[in-house]
Chains A and B, each alone.
Chain A
């Protein structure tokens, strides 16, 4: 039995776990600089996680098993998705088990349980955050599926490894459908990862927070896991976008020789994406909650146009 793909798989998950806080740190650092503040450095998210893991858990008396189970589930789905999305190599043993639709479903499970956990304690903030999160989910999920279907149609597969493979083998063509799908994907990724036009990741202001409201009652290692999973989700969405639209650099074969360059390309791309996210976040203000229907409606429109232009133009 060839063990190398399994080892690459393991390496990839470890890479995801270590890189995710760094990406968040990088974004915060750039944001501090762009606003003329001193930054806490690239390593601050690691320090935060480390501190949270060392702290005790404070549990509400009426917390049920859902509340205690959710951090582990959310963290686990993140790792599982990290094993399926081609980050370093496309030759992954886990990749044939699940396609991109399953990945969307994995994110949906994590979100469902986070929303349940938000309501479990029975505080007002948790319930409010959960209802808002579910509203966004109901609008974002059709749009992301539409965008993914467009990518799958153009590459004739829903498996991410296969999509990367097809992009590698095909000649580069100017495809309007992919451009539309890409625009839609950016809008949805901003919504799904709770970035600025949709949710502000840095606020605890009760009127505006969405994700923070749901996890307000968590503490100690539970909070550390939820936070870490949130950072992983951001990285995973970036890597999902890279794999479906600009995979160049991901190793095409399961051997260790191509891994260093794959790592280098990954870090480079994450760095660039970080800059773009900061540009978007400093250029835009957070939207009113009821304008989100328009924002996500536009994402759905773009994704649908992408699919239509696949039939009409390609």
Chain B
């Protein structure tokens, strides 16, 4: 595989990552959302493996395998389990309507392209053109967290944001050192568990995962 083909495959996978990010932004069903998240993880894993092969960085294979097992296998499974156990209803509820969110997403992509253009000029890696896409994925993950009402969808937004960061690391510097990546992977895993526990608590307190309910939280008057 020569450099040119690798760069092409890399940019195609970047486009697919961006597409899945937008897919998650517009998806209305919660299971569809999780499937899209798993697909994004798969594209990331393939991309990482290809970059590792081209750049001759073998530790990238390990982080690719980590991505594959965590983001394609384990995290979607945990989320499935949570939704099933907590009997969350299957519709995603948004704060702003979906076409509007889409337009904001497009603006974010243009913004990150503009922001990343000077950085791309400086870089000499074959993956440099995907840097703007990575930033856009991070931004879209943030947008998802802001525009969703339910805790589960906000968490998926957070995980998508983490995907974007991981992608940015791969395209900016051929990945972080292995120690850092192992640490991040572990963090995400633990975060998922903690989120799960939080979900249970929110659910038992409010009987719903709608975070708007938290407005009701008030400090109780202390009786003398």
Query: Chain A residues in contact with chain B, CB under 8 A?
Result: 173-174, 176-177, 179-180, 293-294, 297-298, 300-302, 304-305, 308-309, 311-314
- In whole angstroms, how far apart are the Cα atoms of A201 and B11 in the complex? 39
Count of chain A to chain B residue pairs whose CB atoms are closer than 8 Å in the complex = 57
Bitwise interface map of B from 108 to 151 toward A, beta carbon under 8 Å scored 1, else 0: 01100100000000000000011011000000000000000000
Q: Which of B12-20, B32-40, B178-186, B213-221 contacts A (4 or more CB under 8 A)?
A: B12-20
For A293, A294, A302, A313, the residue with the greatest tally of chain B CB atoms inside 10 Å of its CB is A313
Residues A312 and B26 in contact in the complex (CB < 8 Å), given A180-B15, A293-B99, A297-B98: no
By beta carbon, the residue of chain A nearest B113 is A312
Residues A174 and B8 in contact in the complex (CB < 8 Å), given A301-B22, A312-B133: yes
Contact of B106 among A176, A179, A180, A304 (CB under 8 A): A304
Residues A297 and B8 in contact in the complex (CB < 8 Å), given A176-B15, A305-B109, A308-B110: no
Tell me whether A308 and B113 are in contact (CB under 8 A): yes
- In whole angstroms, how far apart are the Cα atoms of A179 and B129 in the complex? 18
Contact of A298 among B26, B129, B130 (CB under 8 A): B26
When A and B form their complex, which 5 residue pairs have the shortest distance between CB atoms, in order from nearest? A176-B15, A313-B11, A297-B99, A174-B8, A301-B102
Tell me whether B130 and A313 are in contact (CB under 8 A): yes
- For B70, what are the chain A residues with a Cβ–Cβ distance below 8 Å? none
By beta carbon, the residue of chain B nearest A304 is B106
Which size class do B's interface residues fall under?
20 to 34
- For A293, what are the chain B residues with a Cβ–Cβ distance below 8 Å? 99
Tell me whether B99 and A312 are in contact (CB under 8 A): no
Rounded to whole Å, the gap between the CB of B122 and the closest CB of chain A is: 16
Answer whether residue B211 sits at the interface, using C-beta atoms and an 8 A cutoff. no
Answer whether residue B176 sits at the interface, using C-beta atoms and an 8 A cutoff. no
By beta carbon, the residue of chain B nearest A176 is B15
Bitwise interface map of B from 91 to 112 toward A, beta carbon under 8 Å scored 1, else 0: 0000000110010011001100
